[in-house]
């Protein structure tokens, strides 16, 4: 079941589970029998039980290591972002960055927020969609800075996103994907819903031949034991946002084309003026030479 609500806008961020700690002896530390031999220490370490193995597997699925340091406030997130990015953000991307940092800081501050591969895929998908106008190198730089602001390990997020995308492609069917460990691990625990997580679900749907819509969202929400209303709302918001983004990009293209036409027209006028001046100069020179010949 999902705990809490999600903030209205793009992206969320992860909060991993606390790693399972199994007491082990340090190298050279005396053992209960008085031995200080490192090999003896390793051999005397407890053997993981099936329950411990299952717990470790669950933690891996829920993203242990997916976060570096969680920001407690929007100010913390913004400072970490600025430190990582180190330059002004272009106006077209500023709104997305602000929304990511503000709304997702609220999400990750919840104790019930859990990082997972679905979130990672959603985070990557959102950045690829709303920062698509940027050159890839600059987009990755900005995306990495957003991740730093939210306390994410960029390499792990990227790796997890690729892994679950490949897993979904291998699963091939909706039924197989919903029965996968990624979904099963979440359906059996409470977790904080976020926009990026919802975006991850929506982005996974076409990979198994599912068209995003209210019916599909209800099925997937049911598989996760979560309410579907917020996911439906976020899906609609995402669709509206991408449509508006497309309109903005089209307007930018038209403005750039108009600017280029204006510049081309200006260059043409300057060329024609220069040609006319050159012609006038040649005619004046010819007339001067003719006048000199007549005098001679």
Render pLDDT for 118-165 as a digit per residue (tens, 0 to 9): 999 999 999 999 999 899 999 999 999 999 999 999 999 999 999 999
Name the residue among 87, 88, 95 with its Cα closest to residue 248: 95
Residue 17 lies in a domain: no
Q: pLDDT: is 97 or 278 the higher one?
A: 97
pLDDT, residue 198, reads 94
pLDDT, residue 39, reads 37
What is the rounded average pLDDT of the residues 242-248? 73
pLDDT, residue 127, reads 95
Is the pLDDT at 78 greater than 70, yes or no?
yes
Residue 252 lies in a domain: no
Residue 118: which H helix or E strand, with range?
helix 117-130
pLDDT band at 244 (very low <50, low <70, confident <90, very high): confident
Rounded Cα–Cα distance for residues 104 and 13 (Å)? 6
pLDDT, residue 177, reads 96
- What b/e sequence results for 48-67 when a residue is b if at least 16 CB atoms lie within 10 Å of its CB, and e otherwise? eeeeeeeeeebbbbbbbbbb
Rounded Cα–Cα distance for residues 180 and 192 (Å)? 20
- Lowest average pLDDT, out of 9-23, 110-124, 204-218, 220-234, goes to 9-23
pLDDT band at 38 (very low <50, low <70, confident <90, very high): very low
Rounded Cα–Cα distance for residues 238 and 130 (Å)? 10
| 8 A C-beta contact, residue 207 and residue 168 | yes
Q: Measure CA 250 to chain center.
A: 23
Residue 253 lies in a domain: no
At 140, phi and psi to the nearest 5? -65, -35
| 8 A C-beta contact, residue 33 and residue 128 | no
Q: pLDDT: is 259 or 34 the higher one?
A: 259
Name the residue among 59, 64, 56 with its Cα closest to residue 22: 56
pLDDT, residue 285, reads 79
Residue 280 lies in a domain: no
Is the pLDDT at 81 greater than 80, yes or no?
yes
Q: Measure CA 127 to chain center.
A: 4
What is the rounded average pLDDT of the residues 240-261? 70
Contacts 24+ apart (CB under 8 A), 19-26: 19/59, 19/64, 19/65, 20/52, 20/55, 20/56, 20/59, 22/46, 22/48, 22/52
Mean pLDDT for all residues in the chain: 78
List the structure tokens of 248.
Answer: 């903005």
Q: pLDDT: is 273 or 29 the higher one?
A: 273
pLDDT > 70 fraction of the chain, expressed in percent and rounded: 71
Residue 194 lies in a domain: yes
pLDDT, residue 253, reads 64
3-state SS, residue 13: coil
The dihedral of CA 207, 210, 215, 218: what is its sign? negative
9 CB-near residues (< 8 Å, 6+ apart): 99, 100, 102, 103, 195, 237
152 forms beta bridges with 67
The dihedral of CA 129, 130, 132, 135: what is its sign? negative
Q: What range defines the domain where residue 94 resides?
A: 74-246
What is the rounded average pLDDT of the residues 197-202? 95
Is the pLDDT at 292 greater than 80, yes or no?
no
Report the domain count for the chain: 1
Residue 188 lies in a domain: yes
pLDDT, residue 7, reads 38
pLDDT, residue 203, reads 96
For the segment 216-230, what is each residue's pLDDT rounded down to a tens digit?
999 999 999 999 999
Residue 51 lies in a domain: no
- Model pTM score: 0.65
Residue 38 lies in a domain: no
């Amino acid at each position: 079941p999902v705990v809490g609500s999600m903030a209205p806008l793009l992206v969320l961020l992860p909060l991993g589970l606390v790693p399972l700690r199994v007491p082990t002896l340090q190298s050279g530390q005396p053992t209960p029998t008085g031995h200080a031999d490192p090999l003896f220490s390793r051999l005397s370490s407890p053997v993981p039980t099936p329950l411990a193995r299952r717990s470790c597997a669950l933690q891996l699925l829920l993203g242990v290591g997916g976060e570096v340091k969680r920001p407690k406030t929007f100010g913390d997130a913004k400072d970490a972002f600025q430190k990582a990015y180190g330059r002004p953000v272009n106006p077209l991307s500023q709104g997305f960055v602000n929304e990511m940092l503000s709304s997702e800081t609220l999400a990750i501050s919840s104790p019930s927020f859990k990082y997972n591969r679905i979130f990672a895929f959603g985070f990557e998908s959102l950045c690829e969609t709303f920062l698509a106008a940027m050159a890839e190198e600059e987009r990755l730089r900005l995306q990495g800075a957003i991740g730093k602001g939210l306390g994410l390990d960029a390499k792990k997020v990227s790796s997890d996103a690729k892994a679950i995308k490949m897993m979904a492609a291998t699963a091939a069917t909706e039924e197989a994907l919903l029965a996968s460990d990624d979904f099963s691990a979440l359906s059996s625990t409470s977790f904080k819903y976020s926009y990026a997580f919802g975006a991850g679900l929506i982005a996974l749907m076409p990979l198994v031949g599912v068209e995003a819509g209210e019916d599909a969202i209800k099925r997937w929400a049911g598989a996760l034991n979560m309410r579907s209303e917020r996911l439906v709302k976020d899906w609609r918001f995402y669709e509206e946002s991408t449509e508006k983004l497309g309109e903005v990009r089209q307007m930018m293209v038209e403005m750039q084309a108009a600017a280029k036409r204006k510049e081309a027209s200006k260059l043409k006028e300057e060329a024609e003026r220069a040609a006319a001046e050159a012609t006038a100069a040649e005619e004046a020179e010819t007339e001067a030479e003719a006048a000199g010949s007549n005098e001679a």
